[in-house]
Structure 1
Amino acid sequence: MLPETARIATDSGAVLTGDLAVPDRARGVVAFAHGSGSSRHSPRNRAVAGVLREAGLGTLLFDLLTEDEERTDRVTAEHRFDVPLLGRRLVAAVDWLVGHPSAAGLPVGLFGASTGAAAALVAAAERPGEVRAVVSRGGRPDLAGDALDRVGAPVLLIVGGEDREVLRLNERAAARLSAPCTVHVVPGATHLFEEPGALDQVAAAARDWFARMSRREASW
Protein backbone atom coordinates (compact mmCIF):
# COMPACT_ATOMS: atom_id res chain seq x y z
CA MET A 1 0.00 0.00 0.00
CA LEU A 2 1.75 3.13 -1.24
CA PRO A 3 0.47 6.44 0.14
CA GLU A 4 -0.41 9.17 -2.31
CA THR A 5 -0.31 12.93 -1.94
CA ALA A 6 -3.71 14.56 -1.63
CA ARG A 7 -4.41 18.07 -2.93
CA ILE A 8 -7.71 19.26 -1.50
CA ALA A 9 -9.27 22.43 -2.90
CA THR A 10 -11.40 24.49 -0.51
CA ASP A 11 -14.24 26.94 -1.09
CA SER A 12 -11.86 29.84 -0.38
CA GLY A 13 -9.45 28.75 -3.08
CA ALA A 14 -6.85 27.42 -0.65
CA VAL A 15 -5.32 24.05 -1.47
CA LEU A 16 -4.57 21.72 1.44
CA THR A 17 -1.94 18.98 1.34
CA GLY A 18 -2.44 15.51 2.75
CA ASP A 19 -1.38 11.88 2.73
CA LEU A 20 -3.91 9.26 1.64
CA ALA A 21 -3.31 5.55 2.19
CA VAL A 22 -5.99 3.01 1.33
CA PRO A 23 -5.35 -0.72 1.83
CA ASP A 24 -6.59 -3.29 -0.66
CA ARG A 25 -10.22 -4.25 0.03
CA ALA A 26 -10.53 -1.39 2.51
CA ARG A 27 -13.64 -1.40 4.71
CA GLY A 28 -13.78 2.36 5.07
CA VAL A 29 -11.64 5.49 5.15
CA VAL A 30 -10.95 7.90 8.02
CA ALA A 31 -9.98 11.57 7.69
CA PHE A 32 -7.97 13.04 10.56
CA ALA A 33 -8.46 16.57 11.89
CA HIS A 34 -5.53 17.48 14.09
CA GLY A 35 -5.59 19.76 17.07
CA SER A 36 -4.46 23.31 17.60
CA GLY A 37 -0.90 24.03 16.56
CA SER A 38 -0.42 20.58 15.01
CA SER A 39 -0.26 19.19 11.47
CA ARG A 40 -0.61 16.00 9.45
CA HIS A 41 2.77 14.98 10.85
CA SER A 42 1.34 14.64 14.38
CA PRO A 43 3.02 11.53 15.82
CA ARG A 44 -0.07 10.66 17.87
CA ASN A 45 -2.44 10.80 14.92
CA ARG A 46 0.02 8.88 12.77
CA ALA A 47 0.25 6.17 15.40
CA VAL A 48 -3.54 5.84 15.46
CA ALA A 49 -3.67 5.90 11.65
CA GLY A 50 -1.23 3.01 11.50
CA VAL A 51 -3.48 0.88 13.71
CA LEU A 52 -6.50 1.72 11.54
CA ARG A 53 -4.70 0.72 8.34
CA GLU A 54 -3.68 -2.59 9.91
CA ALA A 55 -7.41 -3.16 10.48
CA GLY A 56 -8.20 -2.54 6.81
CA LEU A 57 -9.22 1.11 7.00
CA GLY A 58 -7.86 3.82 4.74
CA THR A 59 -6.55 7.04 6.28
CA LEU A 60 -6.28 10.65 5.15
CA LEU A 61 -4.00 12.87 7.21
CA PHE A 62 -3.98 16.43 5.92
CA ASP A 63 -3.15 19.96 6.98
CA LEU A 64 -6.16 22.04 7.93
CA LEU A 65 -4.20 25.23 7.22
CA THR A 66 -2.03 26.33 4.30
CA GLU A 67 1.66 27.05 4.87
CA ASP A 68 1.00 30.81 4.95
CA GLU A 69 -1.84 30.33 7.43
CA GLU A 70 0.38 28.12 9.59
CA ARG A 71 3.07 30.80 9.70
CA THR A 72 0.52 33.41 10.74
CA ASP A 73 -1.07 31.09 13.27
CA ARG A 74 2.25 30.39 14.98
CA VAL A 75 2.41 34.10 15.84
CA THR A 76 -1.24 35.03 16.36
CA ALA A 77 -3.03 31.68 17.05
CA GLU A 78 -5.94 33.18 15.10
CA HIS A 79 -6.75 30.13 12.97
CA ARG A 80 -6.34 27.17 15.31
CA PHE A 81 -9.51 28.02 17.24
CA ASP A 82 -11.52 29.09 14.19
CA VAL A 83 -13.84 26.09 14.29
CA PRO A 84 -16.11 27.26 11.42
CA LEU A 85 -13.04 27.55 9.17
CA LEU A 86 -11.66 24.19 10.27
CA GLY A 87 -15.08 22.59 9.81
CA ARG A 88 -15.33 23.89 6.24
CA ARG A 89 -11.87 22.53 5.52
CA LEU A 90 -12.89 19.12 6.80
CA VAL A 91 -16.07 19.21 4.71
CA ALA A 92 -13.84 19.83 1.68
CA ALA A 93 -11.80 16.77 2.64
CA VAL A 94 -14.94 14.63 2.93
CA ASP A 95 -16.11 15.80 -0.50
CA TRP A 96 -12.67 15.08 -1.93
CA LEU A 97 -12.69 11.55 -0.50
CA VAL A 98 -16.16 10.81 -1.83
CA GLY A 99 -15.03 11.73 -5.33
CA HIS A 100 -11.59 10.13 -5.24
CA PRO A 101 -11.15 6.81 -7.07
CA SER A 102 -9.26 5.16 -4.19
CA ALA A 103 -11.97 5.99 -1.64
CA ALA A 104 -15.18 6.33 -3.64
CA GLY A 105 -17.96 4.16 -2.24
CA LEU A 106 -16.25 3.61 1.12
CA PRO A 107 -17.93 4.70 4.36
CA VAL A 108 -16.21 7.79 5.75
CA GLY A 109 -15.20 8.33 9.36
CA LEU A 110 -13.71 11.40 11.02
CA PHE A 111 -11.08 11.38 13.77
CA GLY A 112 -10.56 14.70 15.55
CA ALA A 113 -8.09 15.73 18.25
CA SER A 114 -8.45 18.83 20.43
CA THR A 115 -10.12 21.57 18.33
CA GLY A 116 -10.11 19.13 15.40
CA ALA A 117 -12.84 17.21 17.22
CA ALA A 118 -15.15 20.21 17.01
CA ALA A 119 -14.34 20.53 13.30
CA ALA A 120 -15.15 16.83 12.84
CA LEU A 121 -18.57 17.30 14.44
CA VAL A 122 -19.28 20.36 12.30
CA ALA A 123 -18.37 18.38 9.18
CA ALA A 124 -20.51 15.43 10.28
CA ALA A 125 -23.46 17.79 10.69
CA GLU A 126 -22.86 19.27 7.23
CA ARG A 127 -22.40 15.92 5.47
CA PRO A 128 -24.86 13.54 7.19
CA GLY A 129 -25.09 11.27 4.14
CA GLU A 130 -21.35 10.73 3.89
CA VAL A 131 -19.96 10.72 7.44
CA ARG A 132 -20.79 7.46 9.17
CA ALA A 133 -18.80 7.72 12.43
CA VAL A 134 -16.83 10.25 14.48
CA VAL A 135 -14.10 9.71 17.08
CA SER A 136 -12.66 12.45 19.29
CA ARG A 137 -9.32 12.14 21.12
CA GLY A 138 -8.94 14.57 23.98
CA GLY A 139 -11.23 16.81 21.99
CA ARG A 140 -13.29 19.92 22.51
CA PRO A 141 -16.68 18.87 21.15
CA ASP A 142 -18.27 21.74 23.05
CA LEU A 143 -16.70 24.14 20.52
CA ALA A 144 -18.91 22.67 17.78
CA GLY A 145 -21.76 24.81 19.10
CA ASP A 146 -25.15 24.34 17.46
CA ALA A 147 -23.72 21.68 15.13
CA LEU A 148 -23.95 19.25 18.05
CA ASP A 149 -27.72 19.23 17.67
CA ARG A 150 -27.46 18.20 14.00
CA VAL A 151 -24.92 15.38 14.16
CA GLY A 152 -26.44 12.05 13.11
CA ALA A 153 -23.33 9.87 12.97
CA PRO A 154 -22.40 7.82 16.05
CA VAL A 155 -19.78 9.61 18.17
CA LEU A 156 -17.04 8.20 20.42
CA LEU A 157 -15.48 10.70 22.82
CA ILE A 158 -12.16 9.43 24.19
CA VAL A 159 -10.84 11.36 27.18
CA GLY A 160 -8.07 10.82 29.71
CA GLY A 161 -9.29 10.13 33.22
CA GLU A 162 -6.90 12.75 34.60
CA ASP A 163 -7.90 15.35 31.99
CA ARG A 164 -10.66 16.45 34.30
CA GLU A 165 -11.80 19.74 32.76
CA VAL A 166 -11.86 18.28 29.23
CA LEU A 167 -13.74 15.25 30.56
CA ARG A 168 -16.36 17.56 32.05
CA LEU A 169 -16.73 19.41 28.73
CA ASN A 170 -17.04 16.12 26.86
CA GLU A 171 -19.74 14.86 29.20
CA ARG A 172 -21.71 18.07 28.71
CA ALA A 173 -21.35 17.83 24.92
CA ALA A 174 -22.42 14.17 25.00
CA ALA A 175 -25.61 15.15 26.80
CA ARG A 176 -26.48 17.48 23.92
CA LEU A 177 -25.93 14.94 21.16
CA SER A 178 -29.01 13.14 19.88
CA ALA A 179 -26.81 10.75 17.88
CA PRO A 180 -25.54 7.57 19.54
CA CYS A 181 -22.62 8.61 21.74
CA THR A 182 -20.18 6.93 24.10
CA VAL A 183 -17.70 8.64 26.42
CA HIS A 184 -14.66 6.36 26.71
CA VAL A 185 -12.41 7.26 29.64
CA VAL A 186 -8.79 6.05 29.59
CA PRO A 187 -7.91 5.62 33.29
CA GLY A 188 -4.86 7.54 34.47
CA ALA A 189 -4.32 9.33 31.15
CA THR A 190 -3.76 13.06 30.82
CA HIS A 191 -4.60 15.30 27.86
CA LEU A 192 -1.93 14.07 25.44
CA PHE A 193 -2.19 10.38 26.42
CA GLU A 194 1.56 10.25 27.03
CA GLU A 195 1.32 7.62 29.77
CA PRO A 196 2.52 4.09 28.91
CA GLY A 197 -0.17 2.24 26.96
CA ALA A 198 -2.62 5.16 26.92
CA LEU A 199 -2.35 5.92 23.20
CA ASP A 200 -2.62 2.19 22.46
CA GLN A 201 -6.00 2.23 24.20
CA VAL A 202 -7.06 5.25 22.13
CA ALA A 203 -6.07 3.51 18.89
CA ALA A 204 -7.85 0.28 19.81
CA ALA A 205 -11.06 2.07 20.76
CA ALA A 206 -11.00 4.14 17.55
CA ARG A 207 -10.31 1.05 15.44
CA ASP A 208 -13.24 -0.83 16.93
CA TRP A 209 -15.59 2.15 16.52
CA PHE A 210 -14.70 2.77 12.88
CA ALA A 211 -14.84 -0.94 12.06
CA ARG A 212 -18.56 -0.85 12.86
CA MET A 213 -19.35 1.89 10.34
CA SER A 214 -18.97 -0.51 7.41
CA ARG A 215 -21.91 -2.51 8.73
CA ARG A 216 -25.12 -0.59 8.20
CA GLU A 217 -26.94 -2.90 10.56
CA ALA A 218 -24.46 -2.22 13.36
CA SER A 219 -25.99 -1.58 16.75
CA TRP A 220 -24.40 1.46 18.36
Structure 2
Amino acid sequence: MSTLLMTEPVQLGSLALPGDLVIPPQALGVVMFVHGSGSGRQSPRNRWVAGEFQKLHLATLLFDLLTEEEAQDRRMVFDIDLLGRRVVEAIHWTEHHPDLADLRLGLFGASTGAAAALAGAAKRPDRVAAVVSRGGRPDLALASLPHVQAPTLLIVGGLDTEVLALNRQALRQLHAPKRLEVVPGAGHLFQEPGALDSVALFASSWFEQYLCVRRSA
Protein backbone atom coordinates (compact mmCIF):
# COMPACT_ATOMS: atom_id res chain seq x y z
CA MET A 1 0.00 0.00 0.00
CA SER A 2 1.34 3.44 -0.96
CA THR A 3 0.92 6.70 0.91
CA LEU A 4 -2.60 8.05 0.46
CA LEU A 5 -2.77 11.80 -0.29
CA MET A 6 -6.18 13.45 -0.22
CA THR A 7 -7.39 17.02 -0.44
CA GLU A 8 -10.93 16.91 0.83
CA PRO A 9 -13.29 19.06 2.86
CA VAL A 10 -13.50 18.52 6.60
CA GLN A 11 -17.25 18.51 7.15
CA LEU A 12 -18.29 20.37 10.30
CA GLY A 13 -22.06 20.14 10.28
CA SER A 14 -23.18 22.22 7.29
CA LEU A 15 -19.75 23.86 7.01
CA ALA A 16 -17.04 22.33 4.81
CA LEU A 17 -13.47 23.51 5.42
CA PRO A 18 -10.51 22.71 3.13
CA GLY A 19 -8.26 19.94 4.43
CA ASP A 20 -5.16 17.98 3.40
CA LEU A 21 -4.97 14.39 4.62
CA VAL A 22 -1.92 12.15 4.29
CA ILE A 23 -2.16 8.50 5.32
CA PRO A 24 1.12 6.54 5.19
CA PRO A 25 1.14 2.76 4.82
CA GLN A 26 0.23 0.85 8.00
CA ALA A 27 -0.73 4.03 9.81
CA LEU A 28 -0.56 3.72 13.59
CA GLY A 29 -2.31 6.96 14.51
CA VAL A 30 -3.44 10.32 13.17
CA VAL A 31 -2.33 13.84 14.13
CA MET A 32 -4.69 16.76 13.56
CA PHE A 33 -2.95 20.14 13.21
CA VAL A 34 -4.65 23.13 14.81
CA HIS A 35 -2.97 26.28 13.48
CA GLY A 36 -2.72 29.63 15.16
CA SER A 37 -3.81 33.13 14.22
CA GLY A 38 -2.75 34.30 10.79
CA SER A 39 -1.85 30.78 9.66
CA GLY A 40 -3.56 27.90 7.89
CA ARG A 41 -3.12 24.46 6.44
CA GLN A 42 -0.44 25.78 4.05
CA SER A 43 1.89 26.75 6.92
CA PRO A 44 5.37 25.61 5.77
CA ARG A 45 6.43 24.92 9.36
CA ASN A 46 3.45 22.70 10.09
CA ARG A 47 3.72 20.92 6.74
CA TRP A 48 7.38 20.15 7.39
CA VAL A 49 6.60 18.80 10.88
CA ALA A 50 3.76 16.76 9.37
CA GLY A 51 6.28 15.11 7.07
CA GLU A 52 8.34 14.06 10.08
CA PHE A 53 5.25 12.51 11.70
CA GLN A 54 4.46 10.60 8.51
CA LYS A 55 7.87 8.90 8.78
CA LEU A 56 6.56 7.37 12.03
CA HIS A 57 3.53 5.95 10.19
CA LEU A 58 1.30 8.68 11.56
CA ALA A 59 -1.43 10.07 9.32
CA THR A 60 -1.67 13.87 9.33
CA LEU A 61 -4.64 16.18 8.83
CA LEU A 62 -4.11 19.88 8.16
CA PHE A 63 -7.26 21.92 7.68
CA ASP A 64 -8.38 25.52 7.86
CA LEU A 65 -10.32 26.33 11.03
CA LEU A 66 -12.03 29.31 9.40
CA THR A 67 -13.44 30.11 5.97
CA GLU A 68 -11.58 32.73 3.92
CA GLU A 69 -14.21 35.31 4.84
CA GLU A 70 -14.10 34.44 8.54
CA ALA A 71 -10.30 34.65 8.57
CA GLN A 72 -10.55 38.35 7.66
CA ASP A 73 -12.36 39.04 10.95
CA ARG A 74 -9.75 39.40 13.72
CA ARG A 75 -12.40 38.75 16.35
CA MET A 76 -13.02 35.28 14.93
CA VAL A 77 -9.31 34.57 14.59
CA PHE A 78 -8.94 34.96 18.37
CA ASP A 79 -12.30 33.45 19.35
CA ILE A 80 -11.01 30.41 21.26
CA ASP A 81 -14.53 29.21 22.08
CA LEU A 82 -15.44 29.15 18.39
CA LEU A 83 -12.15 27.54 17.37
CA GLY A 84 -12.49 24.96 20.14
CA ARG A 85 -15.96 24.03 18.86
CA ARG A 86 -14.55 23.65 15.36
CA VAL A 87 -11.87 21.31 16.74
CA VAL A 88 -14.53 19.21 18.49
CA GLU A 89 -16.51 18.99 15.24
CA ALA A 90 -13.37 17.98 13.34
CA ILE A 91 -12.67 15.29 15.94
CA HIS A 92 -16.20 14.00 15.27
CA TRP A 93 -15.41 14.00 11.55
CA THR A 94 -12.35 11.80 12.08
CA GLU A 95 -14.48 9.28 13.96
CA HIS A 96 -16.64 8.79 10.89
CA HIS A 97 -13.88 8.85 8.28
CA PRO A 98 -13.35 5.28 7.04
CA ASP A 99 -9.54 5.63 7.03
CA LEU A 100 -9.23 7.37 10.41
CA ALA A 101 -11.94 5.98 12.66
CA ASP A 102 -9.77 3.18 14.07
CA LEU A 103 -6.63 5.29 14.59
CA ARG A 104 -5.62 6.91 17.87
CA LEU A 105 -5.87 10.69 17.58
CA GLY A 106 -3.36 13.35 18.59
CA LEU A 107 -3.68 17.12 18.36
CA PHE A 108 -0.77 19.40 17.40
CA GLY A 109 -1.60 23.04 18.17
CA ALA A 110 0.48 26.13 17.43
CA SER A 111 0.16 29.58 18.97
CA THR A 112 -3.53 30.34 19.67
CA GLY A 113 -4.40 27.04 17.99
CA ALA A 114 -2.91 25.25 21.00
CA ALA A 115 -5.65 26.75 23.17
CA ALA A 116 -8.30 25.52 20.72
CA ALA A 117 -6.69 22.07 20.68
CA LEU A 118 -6.70 21.86 24.47
CA ALA A 119 -10.31 23.05 24.62
CA GLY A 120 -11.21 20.30 22.16
CA ALA A 121 -9.24 17.69 24.10
CA ALA A 122 -11.10 18.66 27.28
CA LYS A 123 -14.43 18.12 25.51
CA ARG A 124 -13.44 14.79 23.93
CA PRO A 125 -11.25 12.88 26.41
CA ASP A 126 -12.62 9.64 24.96
CA ARG A 127 -11.11 10.36 21.54
CA VAL A 128 -7.98 12.51 22.01
CA ALA A 129 -5.01 10.39 23.08
CA ALA A 130 -2.25 13.06 23.14
CA VAL A 131 -1.70 16.80 22.68
CA VAL A 132 1.40 18.76 21.66
CA SER A 133 1.61 22.56 21.79
CA ARG A 134 4.24 24.43 19.72
CA GLY A 135 4.83 27.96 20.94
CA GLY A 136 1.28 27.79 22.18
CA ARG A 137 -0.97 29.92 24.34
CA PRO A 138 -2.56 27.30 26.62
CA ASP A 139 -3.39 30.13 29.03
CA LEU A 140 -6.16 31.18 26.61
CA ALA A 141 -7.96 27.91 27.46
CA LEU A 142 -7.36 28.16 31.20
CA ALA A 143 -10.81 26.89 32.22
CA SER A 144 -10.36 23.78 30.05
CA LEU A 145 -6.91 22.75 31.29
CA PRO A 146 -7.98 20.86 34.46
CA HIS A 147 -10.36 18.78 32.30
CA VAL A 148 -7.75 17.66 29.76
CA GLN A 149 -7.08 13.96 30.23
CA ALA A 150 -4.75 13.46 27.27
CA PRO A 151 -0.99 13.51 27.96
CA THR A 152 0.15 17.00 27.00
CA LEU A 153 3.54 18.27 25.84
CA LEU A 154 4.25 22.01 25.77
CA ILE A 155 7.18 23.11 23.57
CA VAL A 156 8.39 26.70 23.88
CA GLY A 157 11.40 28.60 22.56
CA GLY A 158 13.85 29.74 25.20
CA LEU A 159 13.86 33.28 23.79
CA ASP A 160 10.06 33.45 23.82
CA THR A 161 10.13 34.57 27.44
CA GLU A 162 6.59 35.89 27.85
CA VAL A 163 5.01 32.81 26.27
CA LEU A 164 7.35 30.59 28.30
CA ALA A 165 6.10 32.17 31.53
CA LEU A 166 2.48 31.66 30.43
CA ASN A 167 3.20 28.01 29.60
CA ARG A 168 4.75 27.43 33.01
CA GLN A 169 1.60 28.83 34.63
CA ALA A 170 -0.62 26.69 32.42
CA LEU A 171 1.41 23.57 33.16
CA ARG A 172 0.34 23.80 36.80
CA GLN A 173 -3.32 23.67 35.75
CA LEU A 174 -2.90 20.42 33.81
CA HIS A 175 -3.61 17.24 35.74
CA ALA A 176 -2.91 14.76 32.95
CA PRO A 177 0.61 13.45 32.25
CA LYS A 178 2.49 16.57 31.13
CA ARG A 179 5.87 17.98 30.22
CA LEU A 180 7.38 21.32 29.26
CA GLU A 181 10.27 21.26 26.78
CA VAL A 182 12.25 24.45 26.20
CA VAL A 183 14.23 24.79 22.96
CA PRO A 184 17.32 26.91 23.82
CA GLY A 185 17.96 29.89 21.55
CA ALA A 186 14.59 29.60 19.78
CA GLY A 187 12.02 32.35 19.37
CA HIS A 188 8.25 32.14 18.99
CA LEU A 189 8.26 30.83 15.41
CA PHE A 190 11.26 28.46 15.82
CA GLN A 191 12.92 29.97 12.75
CA GLU A 192 16.44 29.61 14.10
CA PRO A 193 18.70 26.88 12.63
CA GLY A 194 17.80 23.52 14.15
CA ALA A 195 14.93 24.88 16.25
CA LEU A 196 12.12 23.28 14.26
CA ASP A 197 14.10 20.03 14.17
CA SER A 198 13.99 20.03 17.97
CA VAL A 199 10.23 20.64 17.89
CA ALA A 200 9.75 17.69 15.53
CA LEU A 201 11.97 15.46 17.68
CA PHE A 202 10.12 16.25 20.93
CA ALA A 203 6.69 16.01 19.32
CA SER A 204 7.49 12.80 17.43
CA SER A 205 8.69 11.14 20.61
CA TRP A 206 5.51 12.18 22.44
CA PHE A 207 3.16 10.96 19.73
CA GLU A 208 5.15 7.78 19.24
CA GLN A 209 4.70 7.02 22.95
CA TYR A 210 0.97 7.72 23.11
CA LEU A 211 -0.34 7.09 19.58
CA CYS A 212 1.83 4.38 18.08
CA VAL A 213 0.45 1.53 20.17
CA ARG A 214 0.62 -1.63 18.13
CA ARG A 215 -2.04 -4.24 18.71
CA SER A 216 -0.85 -7.48 20.25
CA ALA A 217 -0.46 -10.34 17.82
TM-score bin, normalised by smaller chain: over 0.9
DSSP 3-state at the match of 2:186: coil
Determine what percentage of the aligned residue pairs are the same residue: 57
Q: Is the 8 A contact 1:8 1:92 kept in 2?
A: no
Structure 1: any 5+ residue segments left out of the alignment? none
Q: Is residue 186 of structure 2 the alignment partner of residue 189 of structure 1?
A: yes
* Residues 34-69 of structure 1 deviation map (CA, whole Å, 9 limit, x = unaligned): 010111000110011000001110000000001221
Change beyond 3 A, Cα 1:9–1:158: same
1:214 is displaced (CA, Å) by: 3.0
Summarize the alignment of residues 75-154 of structure 1 with structure 2, pairs less than 5 Å apart.
77-154=74-151
* Residues 82-101 of structure 1 deviation map (CA, whole Å, 9 limit, x = unaligned): 00111111111111111111
In the aligned structure 2, how far is the partner of 1:162 from the partner of 1:145? 23
The corresponding residue for 1:46 is 47
1:33 is displaced (CA, Å) by: 0.4
The corresponding residue for 1:21 is 22
DSSP 3-state at the match of 2:21: strand
Structure 2: any 5+ residue segments left out of the alignment? none
Q: TM-score, normalised by structure 2?
A: 0.94
The corresponding residue for 1:6 is 8
The corresponding residue for 2:70 is 69
Summarize the alignment of residues 156-195 of structure 1 with structure 2, pairs less than 5 Å apart.
156-195=153-192
Count of residue pairs brought into register by the alignment: 212
Q: Is the 8 A contact 2:29 2:212 kept in 1?
A: no
Q: Is the 8 A contact 1:160 1:186 kept in 2?
A: yes
1:203 is displaced (CA, Å) by: 0.7
In the aligned structure 2, how far is the partner of 1:209 from the partner of 1:22? 19
Q: Give the root-mean-square deviation of aligned CA atoms.
A: 1.3
